Structure 1
Amino acid sequence: MKRVLDKVDEKILAQLTENARLSHNDIAASVNLSRNAVRLRIERLERDGYIRGYTIKSGHAAPESEPIRALMFVYRKDRMRGIDVLVHVRSVPEVVACDVMSGELDIVLHIEAATSDHIHKLWEEIAALPGVLNTVTSFVLTRSKDSSPRGHQAACP
């Protein structure tokens, strides 16, 4: 059972939320406790679940702001009359570009989202549209060239 936090615990959590790299000495000085008392409180906050886990981001990881990209290939039931699909994808902010294709392929959606789960939800939404016959989604593993200007978003025709 979690204990009720007192004002000192709340202040420690607020400081660690703002800067998780603060030393026990720095926190101790701001809450008028000894370094050891702060250490014991932080350990209790960890045990009680107020502090859960620590994260390390190496230089090899993508920055948080980097979106997950995917291409969704959409096949409409009637290519010439399936305008409802295009109207819908225009309203989806994660669709950053939409290309109507010639040949076998019908529509290619360029999607950028924060998580793969969000892309999955978009796939479910688009695949369920009345005019959609089939979809295939592929995640972009690496972008080796990006010559589009930042912020430029192409709309569906």
Structure 2
Amino acid sequence: MDAVDEKIIAELTRNARISHAQLGHRVRLSRNAVRQRVERLERQGVIGGYTIVRPSSTRDREFVAAHMLVYRQDRMRGGDVLAAIRRIPEVVACDVLSGEFDLLVSLEARSLERVQGIWQDIAQMPGVRDTVTALILSRVVNRRSA
């Protein structure tokens, strides 16, 4: 990555919907040169995706957020659990942990009942030994949407 790539990343971070022509103007490259660089950055995994970020006041009213700690029976052979968690649309992140628990599953659902349903589904998965779930009451820092 060079300085131009860094500028492209910065501009896309500010506005991921910016056109290649506008982006090229801002970083002083042609539209085609910018498109090629963006595609290369995507292939290399520097750009991992694009997303929609809702204002937190709207999001807070519409979603119940929770973190679930999951302990698998066999942490080295728990791929089926990971595959099943990937298929749950409300899961916004799943991190493999060191220590007592194996996974930290972060989810956002439309209702407390849906959070409970997801908890039941995960707790009953073959290969899951135990879970601990915590509801998010409020978010003090949210740097992901910045």
Pair 1:97 & 2:97 matched: no
In structure 2, C-alpha distance between the alignment counterparts of 1:140 and 1:149, rounded to whole Å: 17
1:136 to 128, 132, 137: 132
C-alpha RMSD of the superposition: 1.6
Question: What is aligned with 1:106?
Answer: 102
* Structure 2: 5+ residue stretches without partners: 1-56
**Alpha-carbon offset, residue 65 of structure 1:** 4.7
In structure 2, C-alpha distance between the alignment counterparts of 1:109 and 1:115, rounded to whole Å: 17
What's the % identity of the aligned pairs? 45
Structure 1 stretches of at least 4 aligned residues deviating more than 3 Å after TM superposition: 62-66
Counterpart code for 2:65: R
In structure 2, C-alpha distance between the alignment counterparts of 1:144 and 1:97, rounded to whole Å: 19
Question: What is aligned with 1:87?
Answer: 83
Q: How many residues align?
A: 89
Question: What is aligned with 1:120?
Answer: 116
**Alpha-carbon offset, residue 147 of structure 1:** 0.7
In structure 2, C-alpha distance between the alignment counterparts of 1:130 and 1:104, rounded to whole Å: 19
**Alpha-carbon offset, residue 122 of structure 1:** 0.4
Question: What is aligned with 2:71?
Answer: 75
